[in-house]
A and B are shown apart, each in its own frame.
Chain A
Amino acid sequence: MIGIVGYGAYLPRLRLSRRAVFDANAWYAPQFAGKARGHRTMANWDEDSVTMAVAAARDCLGPGDDRSRVRALALASSSLPFAERLNAGIVAEALTLDERVLAQDVTGSQRVALSALAQALAAVRGGQGETLLLAADNRQTSAASAAELDYGDGAAAVLLGSDGVLAEYLGGAHRTVDFVDRFRRTGESIDYHWEERWVRDEGIDRQMPEVIAEALTQAGVEAAAVDHFIFPAAFAKVDTRLAARCGIPPEAVVDNLAERAGNTGVAHGLLLLAGVLQRARPGQIVLLTQFGNGGEALVFRVTEAIDHFRPVVGLEGWLERGREETAYTRFLSFQGRLHLERGMRGEQDKKTALTTLYRHRRAILGLVAGRCRETGEVHFPPSRISYTPGKPVQDSQESWKLAERQGRVLSWSAEYLSWHMSPPHQYGQVDFDGGGRILMDFTDVERGDISSGCAVEMVFRIKDTDETRGFNRYFWKATPLRDASQQPEKSE
């Protein structure tokens, strides 16, 4: 049996109020009054498709930092930060995957995550070993556009394998048609869309039923037997209409999270799947579909093992962790659509020495420290000579991963002097459980979220952006533990 052996999700903490967006643009775009409800997820300034993919992967893989079972990695997105540089390679370093992992980026269409899923399942069947498929999107939109309101940012993960299968893969089908509902030339940042009515009537309604019917036949499942029908589309009611056309029970249609998150693009099919698997019961049939230059459909049957797996936070958990954002200009600024005055302190060159990055990639991207064999003391960054007072032992440090460890804030400040994308800039000293200390940035924090002694966890984020050369520096930041049982939520 092959299929899904793990799943995870990630939604950024910020939830942009659509009312706030509408109100800001109402003088110009009053036609969007009907969309002015609910929230869309909004990546923080230091998040992109790579960082969100890492977060979803960690949600799926759990806190154990031995990830040697992952033999292949695919990152699907329409908004990869790098056109040249393996984005999945950054993810692999952040997850401290074995270097022998087969890693690739996949992109080009809204359905590409599901195409990658079909390929990964075939590879698993062929003996590839466990394959981690990640999908993330963080798409740029024009101000005062429908997309700005409909889209959301997020990521999802599925781990595929043959051991401990939670959802058995039964069969699938695909169609590839150059039906251009949207396009974006290489180098451009925003999709160009064709008329919704045409996409719906001539695209989705005509092409998807064929794909779905074929997948169900392949799987040997009747349409009426589908328990969970996932069809992520930003258009209202198109999913129920498609279900009806295909003979799928209306109650099987999975809510597309329009109200609470928005459409997360390439990630949305897997994101909804992560939500379904969290509540699915053994024996249930999941039909996962996505449209884009054709379409993709895959059928799974939930197994008895479904209750043996829990993501770390899970889609519901991420949905609940939101913090409302009503500052539309913050959204525009984070999207790079509004250039706010930075002052001269914002002029500093952020050129990254790639030689240095490579030499220290395990420390920088993987947050791997050095633990002294003799004293047990943890050093970040790792060094040849240990700091131990009076005992400067040489070459005694072994790799010691810190990313999955919690920490406590020793000291902190929030400063208004330097230029920062989201002032105040908050940073401080974090002491890790099990040893180690790093002076590090805090993220996803409001004033008052950080105090001496508060518990924090690590998140992989953009540290700096080199706008001159188009390079992102990634590193880890601390964020308050949001688990209600460990620390009260202060900012909501």
Chain B
Amino acid sequence: MATGIKDKVAILGMGCSRFGERWDASPEDLMVEAYNEAMTDAGIGPEQLDAAWFSTHMDDVGVGRGGTPMGIALRLPNIGVTRVENFCAGGSEAIRGAVYAVASGACDIAIALGVEKLKDTGYGGLPVATVGTYIPQWYPNAVAPANFAQLAAAYQQKHRVEPDLLKRAMAHVSVKSHANGALNAKAHLRKPITEEQVLRAPTIAEPLGLFDCCGVSDGAAAVIVTTPEIARGLGKRDLVTFKGLQVSVSNGWELQSNDWDGSYVHTARIAARKAYQEAGITNPREQISMLEVHDCFSITELVTMEDLFISEQGGAVNDVLDGVFDADGALPCQIDGGLKCFGHPIGASGIRMLYEMYLQLQGRAGERQLPDPVLGLTHNLGGQPSQNVCSVSIVGREGA
């Protein structure tokens, strides 16, 4: 019987580049930026790294297939670099690889780094990707906003929410994230916005407008992990440890069967249940201090609150409008601005979410520091509502 990951692995150091339209930086520069911060924070040298996990998704744009881009950019001492891709959840997948390596005892210290260079395409939004030879022959030339907009259509239909009310709740999600992002010097979008601005913005994919969509950004983030014992031996105090680390991947049931109603993300519920069990959480709404969820679109964040069993089914609209997830609410969400404003460099996002949890748990989040957080949850979703990869991770103070 597996005993899970709880408290077996600690964060030794983390780094995150400034996210945004980094016209000044190549993927190598972004990697170095995150790496330097993480290594300084960890207080170790490259020779102490045993293994590396490297997350990048859009290889056609900037980085390249294989582990060499990370090995070369960071001049790593010929350690193994495992490249992982798992749509937008690749960052969390890299973390999982590094954490499992340490937990297994195969490595003392491992690094996970995610990077994405999206702004070398010449246009806004995610790059147009190729998806093999069969899918393009029947599957719509789908784009992320329209894939996630369908969550809104189905959610509205299922819960009989008035379209205007749902639009307003979605707007609140974005207004909140912009307010948070304004306090984050590394964030891509740092301008507060109003509900009226959101509602009047041009439509991208009905019913999503411009401000319902997250930033598409360049950036990198890195985490160095080790055992709590080694961390303490290196002089670390107030350790942040992993409590639960779960990934769930679709098997086609949502996409092909007639049973899924389209109003929620099936894998998120599975990953959440398993992560809570692994972390020993029985009442997430009460026990978790803060959330970083995959707010690629405002509707995703709203629905995620139900998928994580934090809001009742159909209750997220009211929770959002009541300010539960605002910075001063009962359960702050996207305190760093989220994908919406911190930005979304695909392969780095899962690690960026962890970065905020780490800073908050160590009391190092500056102007946006929350009072005394104990447990943080990151939810990292890749793909689309009907077929995806969903990671739910829980981290917290050691022993919590």
Contacts and interface: CB of A to CB of B under 8 A. Distances in A.
A binds B: yes
Interface of A: 343-345, 347-350, 352-353, 355-357, 360, 363-364, 377-381, 383, 387-389, 410-418, 420, 424-425, 427-429, 431-432, 435-441, 447, 452-453, 463-464, 473, 475
A413 B205 contact: yes
B256 A380 contact: yes
A416 B262 contact: no
B203 interface: yes
B133 A353 contact: yes
Interface residues of B, number: 42
Contacts of A437: 255-258
B153 interface: yes
Contacts of B138: 363-364, 381, 438, 440, 463, 475
B146 A425 contact: yes
Given A345-B123, A429-B262, A439 B157 contact: no
Nearest to A440: B140
Interface of B: 121-123, 125, 128, 130, 133-134, 136-143, 145-147, 149-151, 153-154, 156-157, 202-206, 208, 251-253, 255-258, 261-262, 386
A427 B137 contact: no
Contacts of B205: 413-417, 424
Q: Quick one: which of A387, A435, A463 has the most chain B CB within 10 A?
A: A387
B134 A429 contact: no
Contacts, number: 133
Chain A interface secondary structure, helix, strand, loop or mixed? Answer: mixed
B126 to A, nearest CB: 9
A437 B150 CA distance: 15
Given A352-B133, A378-B256, 8 more contacts: A411-B153, A414-B206, A415-B146, A415-B205, A429-B262, A441-B140, A452-B153, A452-B157
A111 B252 CA distance: 50
6 contacts: A364-B137, A387-B256, A414-B146, A415-B206, A417-B143, A428-B153
Contacts of A356: 133-134, 137
Contacts of A436: 256, 258
Nearest to B125: A417
B204 A377 contact: no
A447 B207 CA distance: 12
Q: Quick one: which of A345, A377, A413 has the most chain B CB within 10 A?
A: A413
A416 B204 contact: yes
A412 B153 contact: yes
A260 to B, nearest CB: 33
Contacts of B130: 348-349
Q: Quick one: which of B121, B204, B206 has the most chain A CB within 10 A?
A: B206
A415 B145 CA distance: 7
Contact of B123 (A343, A357, A360, A453): A343
B128 A357 contact: no
Contacts of A343: 123
A388 B136 CA distance: 25
A463 B257 contact: no
Nearest to A476: B138
Contact of A344 (B121, B140, B149, B150): B121
A413 B134 contact: no
Given A437-B255, A453-B157, A411 B143 contact: no
Given A344-B123, A381-B138, A429-B262, A417 B146 contact: yes
